[in-house]
Amino acid sequence: MPTLIYSHPASLAHETPAGHPERIDRIRTVHQVIRSPHFKATIHREAPLGTEVQILRAHTEEHYQRILAASPESGFEYLDPDTVMSAGSLAAALRAVGGACAAVDSVLANDADNAFIAMRPPGHHAEANRAMGFCLFNHAAIAALHARAVHGIERVAVVDFDVHHGNGTQDIFWSDKNLFYGSTHQMPLYPGSGARSETGVGNIFNAPLKAGDAGAEFQTAMEDIILPALNLFEPELLIISAGFDAHVRDPLGSLELEEDDFAWATLQLMEIADTHAKGKIVSVLEGGYDLQGLAGGVGAHLQALLHGNAAVED
Ligand SMILES: [Zn+2]
């Protein structure tokens, strides 16, 4: 079955101030990768608008109303020193929510094995009641809760290999034993959470890495902590928070992952999804701030999601 890619031009209208790392060029770069002849075996779909019902499964009404009220007609509105909205930001975020939920619908309806949401802003720092770290709504958490509410499955896992800890997903999943959150990330680093000792109700698995750690340490963290726990959890759907800022070239992190490491992690997760979830994976783009590193990471990840078949039709 094919790999779906969800995108929308709205991602190009979320403006951030000059010098902000989470910039429009990121998604231009991702669009070049996903539209390259190398990936012509993928099926492209336009993301629908996300809905209030979808968002309120993960966020408070207060948070949702605060984001709506902050949306500016022009210029920039700062939600915190890092997190900013322009006139196009709300639509971009709503499309990213809608894309993630539509991908869940398609994958669970057997339209595809897996799907990649090639959209911005990222989402994993957004907590139930707080926007932060460039994130307005938590697309991965919203997608997980959408799957449970609409498709009648119980156990959904999010695995996050962004260089930053997904405090938002951890926050939303914290007390629900049928939601799994596993994360590799650099520590210490923004947002400061993600210690091994943060375990929720036995459903949170943090595997912090230190500055300078590379593929070997990343693989050990995955093999020792995340993957065995994920296997025991037996997810019915696997969601990946796919950030590529752990790449060696990235200016925001100091891990030293390369393209092959992202491919390796993706293939490991696919194996577990094959065992427990009929191969069903929805992958959501998170960070990645060096354009070359981002392109390489997305390419390697997508190639893996295509079961390595991308190049066959070249
Ligand atoms: Zn990040």
- Using CA atoms, how far apart are residues 246 and 104, in angstroms rounded to an integer? 26
| Axis-axis angle for helices 291-305, 259-276 (nearest 10) | 30
First to last CA, the chain: 18
What separation in Å is there between the alpha carbon of 287 and the centre of ligand 1? 4
Given the residues 8, 63, 125, 185, the one annotated as active site: 125
Residues with CB under 5 A from ligand 1 (ion): 162, 164, 243, 245, 287
CA–centroid distance, residue 162 to ligand 1 (Å): 5
pLDDT in tens, 284-305: 999 999 999 999 999 999 999 9
> How does the average pLDDT of the chain come out, rounded?
97
Supply the pLDDT for residue 1.
Answer: 82
pLDDT digits (tens, 9 = 90+) for 11-33: 999 999 999 999 999 999 999 99
Domain boundaries, the chain: 3-313
Distance 254 CA to ligand 1 centre (A): 11
Distances (CA, A) of 87 to 10, 59, 267: 11, 22, 38
Domain 3-313 has CATH 3.40.50.970: no
- Compute, in angstroms, the gap from residue 143 CA to the centroid of ligand 1: 19
> Could you confirm whether 146 is annotated as catalytic?
no
* Residues in Cβ contact with 18 at an 8 Å cutoff, skipping those fewer than 6 apart: none
Among the residues of the chain, which ranges form H helices?
24-34, 52-56, 61-70, 89-108, 139-151, 167-173, 215-221, 227-233, 259-276, 291-305
Is pTM, for the whole model, over 0.85?
A: yes
| Three-state secondary structure call for residue 181 | strand
Q: What is the pLDDT of residue 162?
A: 99
How many beta carbons lie within 10 A of that of residue 271, not counting itself?
A: 12
pLDDT at 310: 53
pLDDT at 311: 46
Q: What is the Cα–Cα distance from 100 to 113, expressed in whole angstroms?
A: 14
Distance CA 254, CA 86 (A): 29
Q: Ligand 1 centroid vs 277 CA: distance in angstroms?
A: 27
What's the pLDDT score for residue 307? 87
Find tokens 């006139």 and name the residue: 87
pLDDT of residue 313: 42
Q: Tokens 């770069």: give the residue.
A: 29
Please give the angle made by the CA atoms of 22, 102 and 280, to the nearest 5 degrees. Answer: 95
pLDDT higher than threshold 90 for residue 314: no
CA-CA distance, 213 to 197, in Å (whole number)? 20
- pLDDT tens digits, 242-301: 999 999 999 999 999 999 999 999 999 999 999 999 999 999 999 999 999 999 999 999
With beta carbons less than 8 A apart as the criterion, state whether 48 and 99 touch.
yes
CA of 166 to the centre of ligand 1 (A): 8
Could you tell me the distance, in angstroms and rounded to a whole number, from the CA of residue 28 to the centre of ligand 1? 18
Which tens digit of pLDDT belongs to each residue from 104-117? 999 999 999 999 99
Backbone angles phi, psi at 308, to 5 degrees: 75, 10
Ligand 1 centroid to residue 46 C-alpha, Å: 25
pLDDT for residue 97 is more than 90: yes
Give pLDDT tens digits for 179-238: 999 999 999 999 999 999 999 999 999 999 999 999 999 999 999 999 999 999 999 999
> Over the stretch 31-55, which tens digit does the pLDDT of each residue have?
999 999 999 999 999 999 999 999 9
Please write the tens of the pLDDT for every residue from 67-82: 999 999 999 999 999 9
DSSP 8-state assignment for residue 256:
B
Q: Mapping DSSP to helix (H, G, I), strand (E, B) and coil, where does residue 78 land?
A: strand
Question: Of 247, 299, 287, whose CA–CA distance to 23 is shortest?
Answer: 287
